[in-house]
A and B are shown apart, each in its own frame.
Chain A
Amino acid sequence: MSQEIAHWLDNLLEEIEGIEIRRKSSRRVRVDVPADALPALLELLQGRAGYIHLSAISCVDWIDDEEFELVYHVWSYENHSLVSAHIRIAREPGVYLSVYDLYQPAAFFERDIHEMYGIHFEGSPNMGKFILTEWDGPPPMRKEFDSEAYINEHLSWQEYNPPWLQALIAEGGGVVIPPEEQRFSRKKS
């Protein structure tokens, strides 16, 4: 039965142009679509394939490509499968359409992404402050935000190096801080 549905789903998805489907497992499908085809894809998945539950919208900042990646995870209670639709949008100006009219929980995720990454979703009901109500800095999850520089400016720090930790470090354990070249905030300089 599930094989049948999977086959049928693949046929359905091929109706959209420029789509790339990768089947990760029997219950997970990764779909890469152009940004302007995503609302049509979600409408198709919701209306004709029973993917009625939007689990999450996640965001990845690809600063070197100057792009944001948005991932829409939709779940079907009938097929018991998850479709992850990946799109890429330009980092500047970072504007995309809201899918609130298709999935109402999207308002929650979009507001969160707006706060953390500064992406504006057109048509989303509320783009106000959400969790960081007392924050007036830049969106903190963007890669160009240097958290260490921020805390060095605003907060002071104290060393805590008790003898038991020194003994651990002497044995090769303890706190591991990645080398300078692997840390993004140090890469720019």
Chain B
Amino acid sequence: MSSINQIPVIEAKRGNPLSKVFDELVRFCRSRSLFILHYCTGCGAIELPPAMTSRFDMERLGIQPMVSPRQADILLITGYVSIKTLKRVILTYEQMGSPKYVIGICSCTVNGGMYWQSYATAKKLDEYMPVDLYIAGCMPRPEAVIAGLQQLMNRIQSGEANSWEDYFRNYDYYLGNQQKLFGDNWQTPTDIITEAKHYNLMGEGTFGEHTRLLEQHQKPLEALDMRLGHNLKEPTE
């Protein structure tokens, strides 16, 4: 040790010593206030009204239904997803604010269930969007739905439920599966790559051959004309 410069210095990460405590608090609060998007795809939706209302009462766990995707935390896929519906599900999922969680209820979301032979039904939901939790059954009872939601709450609290980041980090994989099903012209109104850059969630799988294909035909998004009656004819003078 001839010089003081040779002494290895481990640069300690300076930060708020309370940040970990704070993160834990945030996760605790987040897991106690979950809003389920009211979007029901298949027959499993019939199990949700008893789960929400007085008999099983989801609200005692802090889980409530919510009407708009931008205010919801959980996307429940309750049953078979036809290919037409899957497009709408993906649009809905991309509009939801992060962090967002997807739960696949019923056997159909696992592998098509009794529609395994059907041309119109998508088989594996986790090919098109990251799924946090599957609740298998045809259909699962409200007890099973609530047990699944409790498991999701535990996972959120322990910080394991971060599969929504996976959609940004492996966007090329999900986009590839979507393009395989919907054709090469598939484009959603949400620009996931720009969002991934903005939230600093770029991963190795964000770019790839499928995103390059998307960029070739991607139309830039335009702001909507917000004037009242903009579709009325302009008065000619």
Contact surface of A with B, Cβ cutoff 8 Å: 132-135, 137, 140, 145, 147-148, 150-151, 154-160, 162
Question: Which residues of chain A have C-beta atoms less than 8 A from B180's C-beta?
Answer: 154
Q: Does B111 contact A160, Cβ atoms closer than 8 Å?
A: yes
Q: Does A147 contact B107, Cβ atoms closer than 8 Å?
A: no
Q: Does B119 contact A151, Cβ atoms closer than 8 Å?
A: yes
**B152 CB to nearest chain A CB (Å):** 20
**B165 CB to nearest chain A CB (Å):** 23
Q: Does A156 contact B127, Cβ atoms closer than 8 Å?
A: yes
**Given A134-B83, A151-B118; 7 other pairs, CB 8 A cutoff:** A134-B87, A156-B127, A157-B111, A157-B112, A158-B111, A159-B111, A160-B110
Give the tally of cross-chain contacts (CB within 8 A): 46
**A164 CB to nearest chain B CB (Å):** 10
Q: Which of B58-89 contact A (CB under 8 A)?
A: 83-84, 87
**A18 CB to nearest chain B CB (Å):** 38
Question: Which residues of chain A have C-beta atoms less than 8 A from B127's C-beta?
Answer: 156
Considering the chains assembled together, what is the distance between the CA atoms of A90 and B118 in angstroms?
A: 27
Question: Which residues of chain A have C-beta atoms less than 8 A from B107's C-beta?
Answer: 160
**B18 CB to nearest chain A CB (Å):** 44
Question: Which residues of chain B have C-beta atoms less than 8 A from A155's C-beta?
Answer: 112, 122-124, 181
Question: Which residues of chain A have C-beta atoms less than 8 A from B182's C-beta?
Answer: 134
**Also in contact, A158 and B122, with CB within 8 A (given A133-B84, A148-B117):** no
